Structure 1
Amino acid sequence: MLIFNEDEAAMDFDHLTNVLRDLALDAGEKIMAVYLASDFDVRSKADDSPVTEADEAADAIISAGLREAFPDVPLVTEEQADTHSQSVSTFLIVDPLDGTKEFINRRGDFTVNIAYVVDGVPVRGVVYAPARERLFFTDATGQSVEEDGPFEKGRVGAVTPLAVSTPDNDALNVVASKSHRDQSTDEYINKYRLADMKSAGSSLKFCLVATGEADLYPRLGRTMEWDTAAGHAVLSGAGGQVVRFDDHTPLAYGKPGFENPFFIALSPHVELQKP
């Protein structure tokens, strides 16, 4: 459920939607230029996670655009470590290239993620998968949509409003991480009766639940808020939920260090099993 308060009311959501969408398209264009090149450098960050010139170029585009458009709103972005020590509850948060391993291996399941968080709740967001040519975002009203391509900056094309599934709990469709699947995740998934099991990379998993292509996405592994906020916003705008794995309370944002606990993204009609 989205929360409305004075901070949220002060934001021009038409303007926010347009800025987030256009910046995601700009970043996606730069990312694809690197992706389609014959070669690119891959380095390791302090936490041993990979980073490429595409991550950094996309971050520069998005950060500059957000700071120009919303100079008074705190910004948290994966690629700028100095933004990670902030203590904020209302802020913009960016993962300029989510799914870097998918990008490096040229598997296509990578996304640009930009979200606006109000009082710890992601209320607006955009998820753009340029290699898949899929664009998901929350419109000015908070309704999540998927836009039909080709995409054009400054002009929104035809969109399809998103709504989560009304699943059959005897035949659930589950999506899990392509790069971070482990035994604990499989053991939890096996608590459910399944119709189908699929894997996907990056924040696309949230979007598959938002479109009704999947009913449930459990994540029993380390993630950061920039990995999840945009997908969380898209899922919420389609009627879905993201809850903590341990106690099934809503996943909140602005936590110290911006690190998430394990979580579950779902259609609210899914009968959750205990950990």
Structure 2
Amino acid sequence: MTVVAPNQPQSLEQPQSGAEFYSQACTSLDAVKQLGEWMAHSGLFGLTKPEQGFVLALECIASRQTPLTWKKSNHVINGQIAMKSEAMLSGLMDAGWEIDWVQFDAQAAIADFSKGQKKVRISFTAEDAKLAGLLPAKPGSGWQKFPAAMMRARLVSLATRMLDPRITQGRYCVEEVADFNTPPTPTASTPTRQTVNVTPESTFSLTDKLEQILEPHSDIANAFLLSKNLIKEGQNFRDVSTKVANMIVSDPDSFLIKAKAFSSPTIE
């Protein structure tokens, strides 16, 4: 008599974590270089050259994070690593801090931070922004379009570095880094002599303006430009033609509205 053994349930394979993936994957310099090139050409990380991708690939491997896991908390702005303010706030909450928002508008961001018996009120106001040269806002800047959000980001960054600097580890928020290369706004207008030179500086100035406008929205901008065949696969907004760049700089609001609508289409 033949006995047929009943089928035994088979366990399903669990998805690998970043640590498990890197422990099994080849981590030679060739593998790092390949990963770095993919990251640099993807347009997802704000990188401008392959070498930045190599360094970021090394960080991902050393910290056992996938590139997209790293991106959830960080971004690269003007060649500098910045931490997203949402990640900073999440870090404070994970560390046991409770946040009670007192004010959150274009005039000030004020919040009470408490942990056990400790309680401190921290603020970032329009007056602070003026002293830092961020106000009056420059045309087309985040301070002109989203002043309340900019206030909140500055407050969160200030509070995190003050209450638990282990979270930021020397990093500033994306909004702060975007302002690093922006000269302070003069408090009083004075007559200045302007000289117009047709030199390579004009090209640099145009690229600089593009980065100021699109860097905080690089993901949706790159996807939108690629869909319109204005850039090729592996390129980013810095690779657009001079004509397209001038169109974006002349009317950034219109471009961003179209790009955001493309990234988040309305479902009727």
TM range (shorter): under 0.3
Higher relative contact order at CA 8 Å, sep ≥6: structure 1 or structure 2? 1
- From the two aligned structures, give the one with the greater helix fraction: 2
TM superposition score normalised by structure 2 = 0.25
Which protein shows a greater Rg? 2
